[in-house]
Amino acid sequence: MQGYDNYLAEAQRQKLSSLYNTVSPYFKNILLLPGQKVFFICSDQHLSVDIPAALEQKNISTAYISGFFYGNLTPERIEYLNRRIDPSTPVNIDTSPHLMRLMFSQWFAKFQTSPLVFFLVLVVLAILYLRRVSKEEYVLFSTGCLAMGCEILVIFAFQIYFGYIYLQIGIIITVFLAGLLPGAWLGNKLNQPGRQVLILTDGILICLLALFMLAIVSFADRLAVSFYLLFGFAVSLACGFQFPVALYLKGADNAAAARTFSADLIGAACGTLFTSVVLIPYAGILWAAAALIGLKLTSLILMGTSRWNED
């Protein structure tokens, strides 16, 4: 893992501690060797700090390793690093990538900046916007948010469990777009759809996400690639389906079309940012999915209660 030269800064310490705590239940002995790269040596056998001496015992020439080792890996440096490991740092697991959050912190520390102001501005703008939207627009806002959130979730989960997202990112994004057209076509086919259609699709989206959570918990890396692709297609199908229905309920003139489309896009932008920068690093994949379900529940409740009121 990336190391340090002469001072172990807090963000780096937390990263090393998280990894240390992650592997420590599985090995009796863990030795960390400091340097520009920190090496984790884990074994149930006894671990010796003096690697050149161990190599010498096996008659392996150590001319270079000794020179490097005795200059950089002094007993004080090794002791300093191992002493500064924090046992209370959360572990890094597939569904809760704690290291990612720490890497964000380190990046912000490096550039002496913070995302806080940006997010505050974003939250204020989002609140101002949401105060002005209609219920149908809010449904599309939350759907856009959920759809992009799901896409980010799938991308992260895929990378975590398969490790080769570069080879599949094109098809994942494609399936998240591919369902929009048939969804919209089906939505258009409905004769005078009511609000209950929006409520139903909201319910379907919630069920899809709940299914995704269940699958991750139950099968994790045993899930087939096709599951992620089918999930993406189903989510986008529901999103595409909701759009013409909401538009029909809003009146289907140019202004209504512009407002509903905007709501969808603004929701998508918020969903992407919020899921990738806040939800996944700080809450993990499962809780990020739960938060998206929570968001969709608000839309479902809003539509459900407004129908009761109007009736």
Cα–Cα distances (Å) from 64 to 35, 48, 55, 68, 156, in that order, read 16, 19, 12, 6, 41
Q: What distance in Å separates the CA atoms of residue 38 and residue 276, rounded to the nearest whole number?
A: 27
One symbol per residue from 228 to 257: x for binding another protein (CB under 8 A), - otherwise; what is it?
A: ------------------------------
Judged by CB under 8 A, the number of residues near another protein is 27
110 binds another protein (CB under 8 A): yes
Token digits for 33? 């060797």
**Residue of 40, 41, 42, 66 interacting with another protein (CB under 8 A):** 66
Residue 43, H or E segment: strand 39-43
Cα–Cα distances (Å) from 125 to 119, 216, 265, 266, in that order, read 10, 34, 14, 11
Which of residues 7 and 308 has its CB atom nearest to another protein in the complex? 7
60 binds another protein (CB under 8 A): no
φ/ψ of residue 13, rounded to 5:
-60, -45
Which of residues 8 and 155 has its CB atom nearest to another protein in the complex? 8
Q: Which of residues 116-175 bind another protein (CB under 8 A)?
A: none
Only one of the segments 73-81, 155-163, 212-220, 226-234 lies at the binding site for another protein (rule: CB under 8 A); that segment is 73-81
DSSP per residue, 192-203? S--HHHHHHHHH
Residue 208, H or E segment: helix 195-219
φ/ψ of residue 132, rounded to 5:
-100, -5
With 0-12 / 13-18 / 19 or more C-beta atoms within 10 angstroms meaning exposed / middle / buried, residue 3 is middle
**Residue of 47, 50, 84, 134 interacting with another protein (CB under 8 A):** 84
298 binds another protein (CB under 8 A): no
**Residue of 1, 39, 53, 67 interacting with another protein (CB under 8 A):** 67
**Residue of 26, 44, 87, 111 interacting with another protein (CB under 8 A):** 111
71 binds another protein (CB under 8 A): yes
Which of residues 84 and 135 has its CB atom nearest to another protein in the complex? 84
112 binds another protein (CB under 8 A): yes
In whole angstroms, the minimum distance from the beta carbon of 110 to another protein comes to 7
Q: What distance in Å separates the CA atoms of residue 295 and residue 277, rounded to the nearest whole number?
A: 17
70 binds another protein (CB under 8 A): yes
One symbol per residue from 4 to 23: x for binding another protein (CB under 8 A), - otherwise; what is it?
A: xxxxxxx-x-----------
One symbol per residue from 23 to 42: x for binding another protein (CB under 8 A), - otherwise; what is it?
A: -------------x------
Q: Which residues pair with 31 in a beta bridge?
A: 41
63 binds another protein (CB under 8 A): yes
Which of residues 108 and 162 has its CB atom nearest to another protein in the complex? 108
Of residues 163, 17, 217, 3, the one with CA closest to residue 99: 17
Going by their DSSP bridges, the two strands 29-33 and 39-43 should be labelled as: antiparallel
74 binds another protein (CB under 8 A): yes
**Residue of 19, 31, 32, 69 interacting with another protein (CB under 8 A):** 69
Of residues 285, 156, 290, 161, the one with CA closest to residue 225: 161
Interface with another protein (CB under 8 A): 4-10, 12, 36, 63-72, 74, 76-77, 84, 109-112
